[in-house]
Structure 1
Amino acid sequence: MGRGARVRRAARTAALLAVATTAVLTAGCTPGGGSADDGRAPDAQRRETARTAHSVLAVKLDNVRRARPHTGLNAADLVYVEQVEGGLSRLMAVYGTRLPGAVGPVRSARETDLELLRQFHRPTLAFSGAQRKLLPLIDGAPLRAEPPGRTSGAFERSAERPSPHNLYVRPDRLLPAVPGPAALTTGFTFGPPPAGGRPEPERTVRYPAARFTFTWSPDHGRYRVAMDGTDAETTDAGPVAAGTVVVQYVRMRESEYHDSLGNRTPYLETVGEGRAEVLRDGRTYEARWQRPDADGGTRFTAPDGSPLDFAHGQVWVVFADAG
């Protein structure tokens, strides 16, 4: 990259991050981190601990090409990938151990988000809005809804991008402190790699109008993320990389909601059980997922029923159609 290109890129980054003040002091933990003992704690114990701490921040992110690169994505502990209307994708980033200065671009919520977020104790959901008929469900859900205008100074738009791909949220205006690892009541366990698995240095997951490729980098000990054939970058923290990637096969059905073109929004059923594949350390492990009720986390187990530990670091959960 030439000096002129670097200067232009730096200017763009500065403009995008002008929506935020200095980054919030981190909790001193890596995303998805915490001790193995924390990761293996029973759901009930972890959820009770979370009640005495601040809950997580979840941010619904735009993910069309014009919305990239994202800001604040690398600070998330967990990134959910959801198929939405028209076969496109949206991301939901969940923050527990670090709060970046800004996150975005922020877009609208979906019905799937409400059930997914019940894994956490009254999470804060930052989103740009929702279909009118969905708004009462969001208001009645066990979460703290934060659309623009509800909390003063929490959202700002960047002049460097066209609307609607230019809305950013400032986490420090929504949460008084970093929630901490106890707030991540997902049911995930972390530890050394299990035995077995098959070598698979690259995996692509496709939606009708989007695709994600995860490529293992031995030098960095992470999976590099590419979206629609382009390496994913952030404006504030470089390339997007994951410690663990989960392909979780769920039932997708049409919801009663649709976009302005009449495309129905898929509803992803994240309560129940099914097949999954866990990618870590350049290998793929066959797994089962179980979430018996909406108020509990999601367990991933090996074929013998033992917990399937994830690698420490950011976790990506990509929902795929179970067919």
Structure 2
Amino acid sequence: MAGLLAAAVTASLAAGCTMSDGPRDDGRGKTRPPSSSLANGASVLAVKIDNARAARPHTGLSAADVVYVEQVEGGLSRLMAVYASKLPKAVGPVRSARESDLELLRQFNRPTLAFSGAQGRLLPLIDKAPLQAVPPGKAADAYFRSKHRPSPHNLYLRPQRLMASAPGMDALTTGFRFGAAPAGGRATTSQTVRYELAQYTFTWSGSRNRWLVAMDGKAAETTDGKRIAVGTVVVQYVKVRKSTFHDSLGKNTPYTETVGSGKARVLRDGRAYDVNWKRPKATDGTTFTTKDGKRVNFKHGQVWVVFANAS
């Protein structure tokens, strides 16, 4: 199945396929009509990615420098993939934005946010935020729909139609620091994070020197059949409260607070480190420190940050 979908996505790119049914969102709101052209600033590309079971396997996820995991309505989850060092040919499936995204993205300098749409009352806040918002209504030729998946799990992005080239690692102003592993920690083979209706498990592979990702009890792969394996996993314990927004079924949208401080668990090199995190204001990145105040280095490679409820 993954191989067939990969071939279909590749064929769509080669054919210059656009959306067959016009710009639209995922049913929770409407997209904005085309307006101003994009500014080609040297900042990251952030893509909201569907993570319902029908949306898997994902495309282009392994090329991201950082993947954030957020809780959404009904106990489900959604991903935000951040690209700085390279741009894949395609990313997706793309889904809608949430209020929490605006605070999370303030750490970057006017990032480009690709998303399928948003709840109607949220759109004005996105328009006012210091970012380049590019739903399909503003950049229709950058998106296409696959005929091999049902809507809304079939919308894909061509990143290189939003920016000519990757901005480079200097644009990744997350506050993360990479280098040698800290002292201490404890040997760990597996870590699981559970939401009400979603589950993530990270299992250490000594042969690959990476953490293997599983979602809802199944090994996570990309559409090219490759297992998703990451260098560093951060389980960041945050406050998750109710927002003022709801989905089309009336379910409240969780708001994940990423400004503040708290506890976290960093997984790297087969070890777990219980640390502190701090992000004083939205324009700051997040720092992670040991109990004695020393900065924690991450392993070079992709980083996954899973936001877990601290309560």
Q: Write the distance in 1 (CA, Å) between the matches of 2:100 and 2:281.
A: 15
Q: What amino acid does structure 2 have at the position aligned with 1:147?
A: P
Structure 2 CA distance for partners of 1:68 and 1:100, relative to 1, 3 Å = same
The unaligned stretches of length 5 or more in structure 1 are: 1-7, 23-51
Q: What is the CA-CA distance between 1:10 and the residue it aligns to? A: 3.0
Q: Is the 8 A contact 2:3 2:224 kept in 1?
A: no
1:145-224 to structure 2, matched below 5 A, reads 145-224=133-212
Q: Write the distance in 2 (CA, Å) between the matches of 1:202 and 1:215.
A: 4
The unaligned stretches of length 5 or more in structure 2 are: 16-39
Q: Write the distance in 2 (CA, Å) between the matches of 1:85 and 1:207.
A: 11
More helix by share: 1
1:257 to 245, 253, 256: 245
Q: Is 1:11 matched up with 2:4?
A: yes
Q: Write the distance in 1 (CA, Å) between the matches of 2:158 and 2:12.
A: 7
Q: What amino acid does structure 1 have at the position aligned with 2:176?
A: F
CA RMSD after TM alignment: 1.5
Q: Is the 8 A contact 1:253 1:266 kept in 2?
A: yes
1:106 to 94, 114, 117: 94
TM-score (norm. length: structure 2): 0.90
Q: What amino acid does structure 2 have at the position aligned with 1:254?
A: K
Q: What is aligned with 1:123?
A: 111
Q: What is the CA-CA distance between 1:260 and the residue it aligns to? A: 1.3
Q: What is aligned with 1:228?
A: 216
Structure 2 CA distance for partners of 1:13 and 1:115, relative to 1, 3 Å = same
Q: Is the 8 A contact 1:72 1:237 kept in 2?
A: no
Q: What amino acid does structure 1 have at the position aligned with 2:10?
A: L
Moved more, 132-141 or 143-152: 143-152
Q: What is aligned with 2:261?
A: 273
1:57-76 to structure 2, matched below 5 A, reads 57-76=45-64
The C-alpha deviation readout for 1:266-289, integer Å capped at 9, x for no partner, is: 101100100001000111001111
Q: Write the distance in 2 (CA, Å) between the matches of 1:283 and 1:17.
A: 38
Q: What is the CA-CA distance between 1:9 and the residue it aligns to? A: 4.7
Q: Write the distance in 1 (CA, Å) between the matches of 2:310 and 2:263.
A: 8
Q: What is aligned with 2:279?
A: 291
Q: What is the CA-CA distance between 1:21 and the residue it aligns to? A: 4.9
The C-alpha deviation readout for 1:174-197, integer Å capped at 9, x for no partner, is: 011111000000000011111100
Q: Is the 8 A contact 2:2 2:222 kept in 1?
A: no
Q: Is the 8 A contact 1:19 1:168 kept in 2?
A: no
Structure 2 CA distance for partners of 1:237 and 1:123, relative to 1, 3 Å = farther
The C-alpha deviation readout for 1:81-134, integer Å capped at 9, x for no partner, is: 000010000000000001000000000000000000001000000000000000
TM-score (norm. length: structure 1): 0.87
Q: What amino acid does structure 1 have at the position aligned with 2:120?
A: R
Q: Write the distance in 2 (CA, Å) between the matches of 1:259 and 1:18.
A: 34
Structure 2 CA distance for partners of 1:270 and 1:149, relative to 1, 3 Å = same
Q: What is the CA-CA distance between 1:262 and the residue it aligns to? A: 1.0
Q: What is aligned with 2:21?
A: none
The C-alpha deviation readout for 1:52-90, integer Å capped at 9, x for no partner, is: 961100000000100000000000000000000100000
SS in 1 for 2:106: helix
Q: Write the distance in 2 (CA, Å) between the matches of 1:304 and 1:283.
A: 18
Q: What amino acid does structure 2 have at the position aligned with 1:200?
A: T
Q: Write the distance in 2 (CA, Å) between the matches of 1:122 and 1:84.
A: 24
Q: Write the distance in 2 (CA, Å) between the matches of 1:210 and 1:234.
A: 18
Q: Write the distance in 1 (CA, Å) between the matches of 2:303 and 2:44.
A: 15
Structure 2 CA distance for partners of 1:9 and 1:198, relative to 1, 3 Å = closer
Percent identity between the aligned chains?
A: 65
Q: Write the distance in 2 (CA, Å) between the matches of 1:170 and 1:81.
A: 22
Q: Is the 8 A contact 1:61 1:91 kept in 2?
A: yes
Q: What amino acid does structure 1 have at the position aligned with 2:87?
A: L
Structure 2 CA distance for partners of 1:16 and 1:124, relative to 1, 3 Å = same
Q: Write the distance in 2 (CA, Å) between the matches of 1:112 and 1:237.
A: 31
